[in-house]
Amino acid sequence: MLQQYLLRGLKAGLVAGLVLGLFVALVANPVVGMAEGLAGDHGHGAANAGDGHHGAEHESAVSTATTKAVSVLGGVFWALLLGVVTFGVAFYFLEPAIPGAGDTQSYLLAAAGFVTVSGAPWLVLPPQPPGVEQAFGTDLRIAIYGGMMVAGLLACGIAGYAYTHLRERGRPVALAGAVAPFCLLVGAAVLAPANPVEVAVPETVVTGFRALVIFNQAMVWVVLASAHAWLLRRERSTAATETSNTGYAEPTPTAD
């Protein structure tokens, strides 16, 4: 049974990976390249054209092409990982506890995944473009990011539990109970230590970069949920058709 869930998650991840790879190649990489160029201009001033300029330019072009290829493959692998872990393993164990049915469960799980992996940590450590120097060291940022991921996961779990157990009191009460944990999550982010940054690029570039990253990750989760919901509908439809074509049910054993 678990193998079927993992295969379904892998297929959904492959679809999302192809979409993400195209997006990274056609949109994200050019934007990141522009941000790096602006950061370089602000940090170093005019370019220094000395001897060997053409050779350095060729090496830079090769390095840039390699970096872009790696980023595309990294995006594909990231989507595959999310598909297997979230819609394979997590869905296998959490399916009975996820509110709703059918497509709703896929999209709710995707929303919880986005909040856990990206949304909650970004409340404290938002995405930063190249050229931004952060006050916190890498180890501290990783610790804060991991802590906010745990907080996001707990908020999603408590929200689902609250909605399920308050549903008998009416949908407004259930929705209020589901929203409350996310208010606490925002409060935890406000109380978290600030991470001052030194920006070497225009503020519009920072805003645009963050919007691009947020859209990028939201798109991955939407595609994952859509592909997973479609695969699940197709499997259930095929199973129902096979059962209908059988035309009979196995006889129930009776005592002699």
Confidence of residue 61 (pLDDT cuts 50, 70, 90): low
Q: Tell me what pLDDT residue 62 has.
A: 55
Q: Any alpha helices (H) in the chain, and if so which ranges? A: 2-23, 29-44, 53-84, 91-94, 103-114, 120-122, 138-166, 171-191, 203-246
Looking at every residue in the chain, the average pLDDT score rounds to 85
Mean per-residue pLDDT, 213-230: 96
**Is residue 231 within 8 Å of residue 11, measured between CB atoms?**
yes
Q: Tell me what pLDDT residue 40 has.
A: 64
The per-residue pLDDT for range 8-37, each reduced to its tens digit, is 999 999 999 999 999 998 888 888 888 777
Mean per-residue pLDDT, 89-93: 95
Q: Tell me what pLDDT residue 129 has.
A: 87
Distance, CA of 212 to CA of 127 (rounded, Å): 10
Q: Tell me what pLDDT residue 103 has.
A: 93
Q: Tell me what pLDDT residue 60 has.
A: 54
For residue 95, CA distances in Å to 62, 103, 176 come to 47, 12, 22
